[in-house]
Structure 1
Amino acid sequence: MATILSVLAMGLGQLYNRQFMKGIILLAVHAITLYTVIFKLPHAVWGLTTLGETQTQLKKVGRLYQQVMGDHSVFLMIEGLVTIFAVILLLWIYVLNIKDSYRTGKLREQGGVPNTFRQTVSFVLSYRFPYLILALPLAGVFFFTIMPIVFMILIAFTDYTSKNMPPAHLLNWTGFDAFRDVFQLKGWSTTFYKVTLWTFLWAILATLTGYFGGFGAALLVQQKRIRFKSFWRTLFILPYAIPMFVSMLILQNMFNGQFGPVNQYLELMGFDRIPWLSDPTWAKVTLVIANFWVAFPVSMLMIIGIMSTIPKDMYEAADIDGASSFQKTRLITFPSVMYSMAPLIIMSFVGNMNNFNVIFLLTNGNPINSDLQFAGDTDILITWLYKLSMGYGQYNYASVIGIIIFIILSVFAIWNVRRTKTFKEDTSS
């Protein structure tokens, strides 16, 4: 009976089970659910399907023209998403209400006594306290992470650009037109493939130089004959301690093709000036050098920590066998470091594919390439997305690029992490 009543309305089953306070609260939730489903959900579905029907326009009132606001497509889309997610949450509470009524009713049939409201609150605070603490962060993740992602995905299927922007214009659903343009239309497809290729090349070079630079610095600092090790560690970590904005600004001036000190020193040594930031190839080389400068200190510190955990008797046994320093590094140090660093290297690769700061602060994607659509020669996918949205108002195409970035990074990261030895050992144990 309690289960049937809870199906009819949230809270009725609890009232039947003599849990009056819980029943009253759930009845209030049921009233909210009915109001949302009857009055809010139809408008939300209408807004999501049509994106509005009345356009903002000027109407003549007497001798003057007055602006009459119409439907705002973006607001309708957001309102629709919030309402639909709210309905899903309320339906989940509805299912929990039925399960709770069934369990409590079964307990009463077996002669048990249901918990009072005070006992329920005490149980939740004692045994479900972690869930209460996590509720607020989860709500933040939902509203500030999941909702924007879903909104971005929806924008990719509209004609939302700076020339067709609410509230002056209504948006329309265009299906996969933007995706087809990116992959098939010559201007867009050429830009996409070139930027994607450079993004992967950049991520590989940035990751390898940062890791092996840190590995080499760690080997040097950890040498027995090196004195003042703490001083050298502190000195090498300074590039990371300085804010990246400052570091990139300094490097931008140092590598200036006309009056930068790097070219001045090259001229003093008899070399020609190098167009560090104005030539496409040299600009990419400069980016790799700049990223190396700010990336290797972190790798160095982590590798030093890993090297300190390697048993010394392994090196002593290698000395007895007559192994050289290079052999000890290749057969003992490097495998031990790689075993622990492999997942971090993978995540560093994923992070470098989204390394907006170095590209934007040092070159801003330049030099400009007229053959590319809203992109420069050093733009990667994330900086191209930024230019499309913030610079040129191509919001639908920017959303397409965002979706592609998400798919590439998530698939690549999951696939590579699952292939690592540490992951396989964790799953087997």
Structure 2
Amino acid sequence: MKRHRATAAVLSVLSMGLGQLYNRQFGKGILFLCIQIASLIYLIPRAGHGLWGLFTLGEQAQQRVKVGKITKVIQGDHSIYLMIDGLIIALIILLVVGIYIANIYDAHRIGKVRDTGGKTNNFIQTYKFVTDRYFPHLLLSVPAFGVLFLTIMPILFTIMLAFTNYSSPGHIPPAKLVDWVGFQTFADLIQLKSWSGTFLGILKWTVIWAVVATFTTYFGGLLVALLIEQSGIRFKKMWRTIFILPYAIPQLISLLVMRNLFNGQFGPINQYLKAFGLGTLPWLTDPFWAKVTVIVVNMWVGIPVSMVLILGVLTSIPKDMYEAAEVDGATAFQKFRIITMPFILFSTAPILITQFAGNFNNFNVIFLLTGGAPVNGDYQYAGHTDLLVTWLYSLTLNFSQFNMASAIGIIIFIIVATFSIINYRRSRSFKEEDMIQ
């Protein structure tokens, strides 16, 4: 007998809450009904115009009409505002649809209980059941709602910009409307020589930078941690404190100080080199030396992080494993290769992947130290040391190339996400819960 479940589901399809009322769950039914009424009050006057704006991005641009000696401005549609409003409406509609489906499922489930002769809970019993069993979900729903509109919505907005012609000077609202152009922005990024040459050149340097920066900071931190943990080293706490100081100092201060230290004209480093008769170096003005400089400075601010992580791993390695290896006649290098390094890699592999992703998008070091300089005449709005992320910043803030910057942002996400997911799934930390000896 499926009479109650079918009737409740059909009533819930007709209107939220009706199925619950039919199942004699009046409190829950009234709650669902209030949600539907509130959503209809909000969406009915806004949904049509919001979705129209999202699909069309407006039809009438701002106009200036001269009436006698006076020029009047007739306000038109603002494509970006229409896109944002439409996106908000679309997300709210999806939320309401999700609640609507949950309402149907709940009515069908309770109707099924009635069909089998079970007893349905009243509102108080339902409230106690939900707060007891789904209490974490209730707490997480509040930040999840914030993430939807403060994180996911801006990401979707950025992605949508890549499929428009929102760029200077021809399509900047309100004077001009923005149009949907599909994958034309990505095609321009690949086909137009000025853009493709810049993109491939910066992508190549970004990959080299990410690999070298990750390698140097990780193994530099490993070396420092191993030296500090050697049995013959005294004052271990003092050495740990000294080497953690570069990390304790705000990165903004460190990088601005380093920028002055490496200044080619009055920087102390060149002054010392000149005093010893060694000549000066164009640390920040020559393409090659500028890249060397940012790598060296990144080691200064990055090695302490790896050192602290690896020190924690070293203290957790059982000492009896080293004692057993000594009994077997293992050399120091063999103990490092067979015991120490596998433990370190097992524990820090996810952190290593995160460091690579962080270096791929390491905005601070490049922006504060070189600002992307020195200038590259063959690049479009970029310099020799620019990474994709700093190039994206320049395109957006300095040159109003919003659609191209959005396309580059999407490509950065695809590269970093693909690398991170593939390598994390291949790491032992993901495959094994406990280290198998």
CA distance in 1, matches of 2:367, 2:82: 34
Q: CA RMSD in A?
A: 1.9
Give secondary structure in 2 for the equivalent of 1:308. helix
| 8 A Cα contact 1:367 1:376, kept in partner | yes
Structure 1 counterpart of 2:363, from 350, 356, 360: 356
CA distance in 2, matches of 1:189, 1:232: 48
Question: How far did residue 313 of structure 1 move?
Answer: 2.2
- Judging changes above 3 Å, is the alpha-carbon distance between structure 1 residues 7 and 279 closer, same or farther for their aligned structure 2 residues? same
| 8 A Cα contact 1:251 1:362, kept in partner | yes
Give secondary structure in 2 for the equivalent of 1:301. helix
Tell me if 1:7 matches 2:13: yes
Q: TM-score, normalised by structure 2?
A: 0.94
Question: Please, which runs of 5 or more residues in structure 1 have no aligned partner?
Answer: none
CA distance in 2, matches of 1:224, 1:428: 26
Indicate the residue corresponding to 1:78 in structure 2.
Answer: 84
Structure 2 counterpart of 1:347, from 339, 354, 357: 354
Indicate the residue corresponding to 2:109 in structure 1.
Answer: 103
CA distance in 1, matches of 2:435, 2:224: 35
Structure 1 counterpart of 2:75, from 69, 82, 93: 69
Question: How far did residue 27 of structure 1 move?
Answer: 2.0
Tell me if 1:166 matches 2:150: no
Superposed, which structure 2 residues align to 1:227-238 within 5 Å? 227-238=234-245
Indicate the residue corresponding to 1:294 in structure 2.
Answer: 301
Question: How far did residue 122 of structure 1 move?
Answer: 2.1
Question: How far did residue 11 of structure 1 move?
Answer: 1.3
Question: Please, which runs of 5 or more residues in structure 2 have no aligned partner?
Answer: 1-6
Question: How far did residue 269 of structure 1 move?
Answer: 3.1
Query: Matched residues, percent identical?
Result: 54
Superposed, which structure 2 residues align to 1:21-170 within 5 Å? 21-34=27-40, 38-60=44-66, 63-163=69-169, 164-170=171-177
1:330 aligned partner, one-letter code: R
CA distance in 1, matches of 2:358, 2:51: 37
Structure 1 counterpart of 2:400, from 373, 393, 396: 393
Question: How far did residue 180 of structure 1 move?
Answer: 1.0
Question: How far did residue 183 of structure 1 move?
Answer: 1.0
Question: How far did residue 124 of structure 1 move?
Answer: 2.0
Q: TM-score, normalised by structure 1?
A: 0.95
| 8 A Cα contact 1:36 1:87, kept in partner | no
2:218 aligned partner, one-letter code: Y
Render the CA deviation track for 1:240-264: whole Å, top value 9, x for unaligned. 0000011001111111112212122
1:222 aligned partner, one-letter code: E
Question: How far did residue 230 of structure 1 move?
Answer: 0.3
CA distance in 1, matches of 2:11, 2:182: 44
CA distance in 1, matches of 2:355, 2:25: 54
Question: How far did residue 328 of structure 1 move?
Answer: 2.7
CA distance in 2, matches of 1:109, 1:294: 67
1:185 aligned partner, one-letter code: L
- More divergent stretch after superposition (289-298 vs 310-319): 310-319
Question: How far did residue 325 of structure 1 move?
Answer: 2.8
Give secondary structure in 1 for the equivalent of 2:432. helix
